[in-house]
Amino acid sequence: MEASPLTQQSRPETFKPKIVELYETLVKAADHEDVEFPEGFWREFFLLPPDRTQLHSLLDGLSADEMLGLQSQTNALFARAMHVASAGNAPADSYALDTLTMFLTSILSKKYTNPSSDVIAVLAGLDEVDRVISEFVAILDGIVRGGHSLELRQKAIRVAVAMTSGAYKTSLVSYFTHRDLFPSLMKYVNDSDNPADIFDPFLLLGLLANYNKFEFQNPYQLRLDDFVNEGSIKKIVKGVGMACGHLRDGYVDIQDDIPEGWTLSNTLGFLGLRALTPGTKGKASQPTAEEAKILFTELPSREAAILMATYDFTNSNKLFGFHLVHMIPEKHEESPFASFLSLTSYLLQHAYRSPRVAHYAELGLFTLRIIVEDPTLCKRICSEDGKRRVRLCRQRQPYLPVVSGDRVMATVILDMMIDTTTHNLRRRLDVNIYSHTIAITLRLLTYLSMNKIRLTYHWSELWRTLLSLMRFLTTYATDLSSTTNISTLTSSLVDLLAFCVSAGDTFLPDPSSYDDLFYKLVEIGPAIPKFRDLYGFATTRTGAPSDFSTPNSKDKDIHAAAINTLLSVSTHFHTLLFQSDGKEVAAPVAAAVVASPKTEGDAAPVALPSIKKKNLSPREVHRIIKQGYDTLSIQPPEGLTTWSRWRETEWKSELKRAARYAVDDARLLVLEDGRKKD
């Protein structure tokens, strides 16, 4: 009997998926120049489900130079994946888009010597780049507009996000500006009923709208300006609200800060005996303070990149801002604006943790400032009709008083501004964030004053915070006086305080709130002339400012008049309380020391110098202050309410830095999302 021509092979220890063998064949082919793969290879390649882990592992393991050595293979893979995706044959088209996403996130993350030309060589070759990349963008545009399923269309958007975020520093993104994807993205938004589906197209729009927008007329910026489809805008607003809620919940998951009354659970937790709390068996334990600190540094999650697009839409499109503020939530849902404010409050309380968090927090302040400068939107924010329940961050002491139920949104925003000021004080002060909080507060109060709207609010907390900031700036003037934009902060703070002093009777609900402001001004009295001198507000005998860094002379006059108003008020009441016929008669109660905000870093709490107490009670001091109104003459400085409107170009460098964080987060989001699906 003849021996069988078949031979028995030993059984391998592990079976390797066929698609992984094809990946390895593709990479190993680098040893052969101008290798060509047969049609059967590619057909099999895209009929098999992709293995994200293995493809990433193979590509990530190659250096930038090794990737350049694979040009022939990478060019072929890129071109073939494009054509399979455009053919519309399921499931191959879906597999091709997944492969493109993984391929782009891996190769674009490498550090090339010449990023633009090297990436072009890997994807298409210098001779073919115009044809190949133009065709690539056109294919994605067609799939997003008319793909056979929403899932496939979403995958095409993800490929575009991968390319845009990964190649942001190269010239390749310009191909997306040559072909307008806006109509296709809005058609996708229109066709989707799930608010969660809005995230990807909205993120992509934010990336594209910020690409070199200060260097040339970005077509996506123009599209945002002209877009008036209310149905699509409402869907986008709802999607933004949902995304903000999820981002906020990341902070809550680490530390649940909902204000609660006294309970056995709270008490046991406070005493470190949370394990004995009823009902905790089987539940995940709360992280320790050190664990929470580490976890907080990783927040917000990568989805925060959507805040860039939220800012751009609010800045460019009044209809978007209108619906963001006015949209009424479904039953048991949080309104989009409430979610946005809630997330912004958490970002602002944690802004000191990293530049990334600070820039996202600043984006929230940019957006909020644009909103409060719009009279139509500010009317809603300050009215009873716009009342909403908003969860504000309470993860760091000191806490503001708890206000339960629905609130006028202006009071919520004032709480956010107070918390921001209180929880970010340090010698290396983030001057920009403080400037915006003061600017937003001034704009809100001027609107209330002009329209005679009197809000019930814990005004004493606002006075305490503003004057504590003045004391802090006075104490650490040596460290802060040379800081960029410090003159903007100091002058706007003086303007705000002078406005409250001169116009408080137009928006404060009762005399006691007004009395408290004057009382606190008397307490801080000695710090005001120091603040004036340290930051160059000193005036000559003619009343003209002698030294101030603001370039506009008219502005100098306004700021000088504002600080003089504070000085005259403080001096007037100080005279009533301390002198009579040239003799000292009394002093306010240990008046004196007003609680300072909690500080970070190496800045210690600042205390007001104590004044010797004689025999006046706080009630008597307030009585004297009331009597002092009769002899008080306040000349309201002109120009305090004529603040300048938001101009994007003035904050160009800050917006560019924020865009870089958004681009990086978008790139990592696509990369991490692909790996999670394994």
- 92-101, 307-316, 523-532: segment of lowest average pLDDT: 523-532
Question: What does the pLDDT read at residue 570?
Answer: 73
195 residue type, one letter: P
Work out the average pLDDT over 519-526: 83
Q: What does the pLDDT look like over 189-216, one tens digit per residue?
A: 999 999 999 999 999 999 999 999 998 8
Work out the average pLDDT over 589-615: 38
Q: Report whether 302 contacts 665 (CB < 8 A).
A: yes
Residue 579 has pLDDT above 60, yes or no: no
Residue 127 has pLDDT above 80, yes or no: yes
CA distances from 257 to 253, 396, 402, 599 (A): 9, 9, 12, 20
Work out the average pLDDT over 333-343: 95
The SS3 assignment for 420 reads: helix
Question: What does the pLDDT read at residue 133?
Answer: 95
Residue 580 has pLDDT above 50, yes or no: no
Question: What does the pLDDT read at residue 522?
Answer: 82
Question: Minimal CA–CA distance to 230: which of 139, 324, 132?
Answer: 324
The domain spans of the chain are 14-178, 180-259+289-424+650-678, 452-646
Question: What does the pLDDT read at residue 261?
Answer: 46
* Residue 96 pLDDT level (bands cut at 50, 70, 90): very high
* Residue 9 pLDDT level (bands cut at 50, 70, 90): low
Question: What does the pLDDT read at residue 600?
Answer: 42
Residue 455 has pLDDT above 80, yes or no: yes
The SS3 assignment for 397 reads: coil
Work out the average pLDDT over 524-528: 84
Residue 46 has pLDDT above 50, yes or no: yes
Question: What does the pLDDT read at residue 10?
Answer: 60
* Residue 420 pLDDT level (bands cut at 50, 70, 90): very high
CA 560-564-567 angle, to 5 degrees, is: 145
Residue 499 to residue 490: CA distance in whole angstroms:
14
Number of H helices, E strands in the chain: 31, 2
Question: What does the pLDDT read at residue 573?
Answer: 66
- 579 sits in which H/E element: strand 579-580
Question: What does the pLDDT read at residue 152?
Answer: 96
DSSP-assigned beta bridge partners for residue 425: 599
**pLDDT top residue among 615 and 429:** 429
Kindly report the number of other CB atoms within 10 A of residue 81's CB atom. 27
Q: Report whether 364 contacts 343 (CB < 8 A).
A: yes
Helices of type H across 525-552:
527-534
Q: What does the pLDDT look like over 141-173, one tens digit per residue?
A: 999 999 999 999 999 999 999 999 999 988 899
- 121-135, 373-387, 502-516: segment of lowest average pLDDT: 502-516
Q: What does the pLDDT look like over 459-512, one tens digit per residue?
A: 999 999 999 999 999 999 888 888 888 988 998 999 899 899 888 889 999 888
Residue 613 has pLDDT above 50, yes or no: no
- 153-157, 276-280, 350-354, 463-467: segment of lowest average pLDDT: 276-280
3 residue type, one letter: A
The SS3 assignment for 150 reads: helix
- 11-20, 107-116, 488-497, 628-637: segment of lowest average pLDDT: 628-637
- 153-157, 186-190, 438-442, 599-603: segment of lowest average pLDDT: 599-603
Please, what is the average pLDDT of the chain?
Answer: 83
- 28-32, 497-501, 539-543: segment of lowest average pLDDT: 539-543
Q: Which residue has the tokens 């809620």?
A: 245
Question: What does the pLDDT read at residue 5?
Answer: 59
Residue 457 has pLDDT above 50, yes or no: yes
The set of residues, in sequence order, having a beta carbon less than 8 Å from that of 440 and lying 6+ positions away, is 365, 368, 369, 372, 413, 417
Question: What does the pLDDT read at residue 632?
Answer: 61
Can you give 555-576 as a three-state secondary structure string? HHHHHHHHHHHHHHHHHHHHHH
Kindly report the number of other CB atoms within 10 A of residue 535's CB atom. 25
Determine the length of the chain: 678
* Residue 545 pLDDT level (bands cut at 50, 70, 90): very low
Residue 280 has pLDDT above 90, yes or no: no
Q: What does the pLDDT look like over 175-196, one tens digit per residue?
A: 999 999 999 999 999 999 999 9
* DSSP code per residue over 464-480: HHHHHHHHHHHHTHHHH
Cα-trace Rg, the chain = 31
- 359-373, 417-431, 434-448: segment of lowest average pLDDT: 417-431
Question: What does the pLDDT read at residue 544?
Answer: 35
Q: What does the pLDDT look like over 556-574, one tens digit per residue?
A: 667 777 788 788 777 776 6
User: What whole-number percentage of the chain has pLDDT above 90?
Assistant: 55
* Residue 588 pLDDT level (bands cut at 50, 70, 90): very low
Question: What does the pLDDT read at residue 593?
Answer: 31
**pLDDT top residue among 539 and 61:** 61
Q: Report whether 566 contacts 521 (CB < 8 A).
A: yes
- 1-15, 361-375, 550-564: segment of lowest average pLDDT: 1-15
Question: What does the pLDDT read at residue 82?
Answer: 95
Question: What does the pLDDT read at residue 550?
Answer: 41
Question: What does the pLDDT read at residue 518?
Answer: 82
Q: Report whether 261 contacts 352 (CB < 8 A).
A: no
**pLDDT top residue among 379 and 88:** 379
Question: What does the pLDDT read at residue 271?
Answer: 40
* Residue 540 pLDDT level (bands cut at 50, 70, 90): very low
Question: What does the pLDDT read at residue 658?
Answer: 96
Work out the average pLDDT over 39-61: 90
Question: What does the pLDDT read at residue 608?
Answer: 33
